Structure 1
Amino acid sequence: MFGDLTSAEKLYVEPYIDAAFTRKAPGDKFSALINPATYTCKYEFEYDDTQAGGKSSVQLKFNKIKPQKFTFDFLFDSTGVVKNASVLNISVANPFAKPVSVAEQIEDFKKKIIEFKGTTHRPYYLKIHWGTLLFKGVLNQIDIEYKVFTTDGTPIRAVAKCSFTESIEDDLREALENKQSPDITHERIFTGAERIDRMTGQIYARDTCYIAVASFNELDGFRKITPGTKLYFPPLEK
């Protein structure tokens, strides 16, 4: 369930106030006590399977791609087994200090990630960072399982099973969905029957960028291009 207890690079979550992820929420990020050994990314596609009467089968028609789902577990521990961290002050590890209680750790987690913000009338938007992983979305479900207890019933270990849903800001989503948008890099194979100025005009809605495109592709010129050459048309600077 969980990975290396002593890994220097911890998975962490940064809360944001806005959907464009430009305004960080006040306070510190939340760092995992222990990195997970696994996490799950779920991609789901929706098709229309409406079937006409009298038909034995149906041709599925693509409808949409649903937002990506991302799930993994957070560990909260006050048994004293985990010596390298307190989630309330991840940078300080005092082997003689009393472990922060599980209840306090969960409250810190809720404050930094789950807490409903009165000014925006919604929970935070979240960025999850770990190595090459960068996930932007919202927390849509959390199940906390209490696993180990003291003799008086106080929990000293718990696991929060979290499910996140991808959230993409509208401007980026529209650019990604619009395959002709000049805000994303295009790739074309030059056939020899085309002209780079016309190709540039089709992508950027003006043909005056062809010299810059030729330079970007490190072409010797723009009049004689070898058929089969792969050309890249970069995003326009705004």
Structure 2
Amino acid sequence: MSKTLQNISDDTLILTNAKGTFSSTLAEYTMMACSYFAKDLPQLLKQKKNQQWKKYNILELRGATIGIVGYGDIGRSAAKLAKAYGMKVIALRRTIPSPEAIQHDPYCDVVYDTHSLNTLFRESDYVLCSAPLTPETYQLISQEQFDHAKENLVFINVGRGPVVDEEALIAALKDGRLKGAGLDVFVTEPLDESSELWKLDNVLLSPHNMDQTDTFMLESTQFFVEENLPRFLHGHPLLNPVDKKAGY
């Protein structure tokens, strides 16, 4: 079999993925992370533990702006929920769609290309990173973006850890350039016990499991067996083809 595969050119070998299977749960996590900081959930938990009745002001998500780096299936699913909360949505895309396509997108208000990454950070109250990891996106988000961040910005990453310069992120969380971060992915997984992220009070941290539902493996397998495999056998176009040059 290995010899057979070696004789297949890149143009002949077709790859597909299970895009869409994990989007809804990651979108739900995104909104939970936004609310975690808007309502100051750590303060609530601390007061409950201390049996302390103390009122404090909170923030609304309504009227806030969320910038989405990587406006694919996950990004659009998050944008849909953000719109339901009354948020403004800014999307960053590798390629800008036609004006007609932008106009007919009910979930996105503004679309920027990758040259406007600093602008997105400057205009957003929350930034969601849902970009894939490719040579072009490696450490796409670095100190430069955190230096341009709007005051009290919350950064959320559900894409891939190496898309972010993790040391620059830690520095921005420690010195106040960022209000907080919701992180489900990291440069090294499992996250090393020595990482400062474990000890930062302004970090919501999860072990890359926010897409791990009871049915996620079943759903991705069913998609392949019930949808793409019959399409392949009948010579029909496959769903979710991978662009090998783009890397996703």
TM range (shorter): under 0.3
TM-score norm. by structure 2 comes to 0.23
Query: Is the strand fraction higher in 1 or 2?
Result: 1
Quick check: which one's helix share is greater? 2
Asked which structure has the greater CA Rg, the reply is: 1
Report the TM-score when normalising by structure 1: 0.23
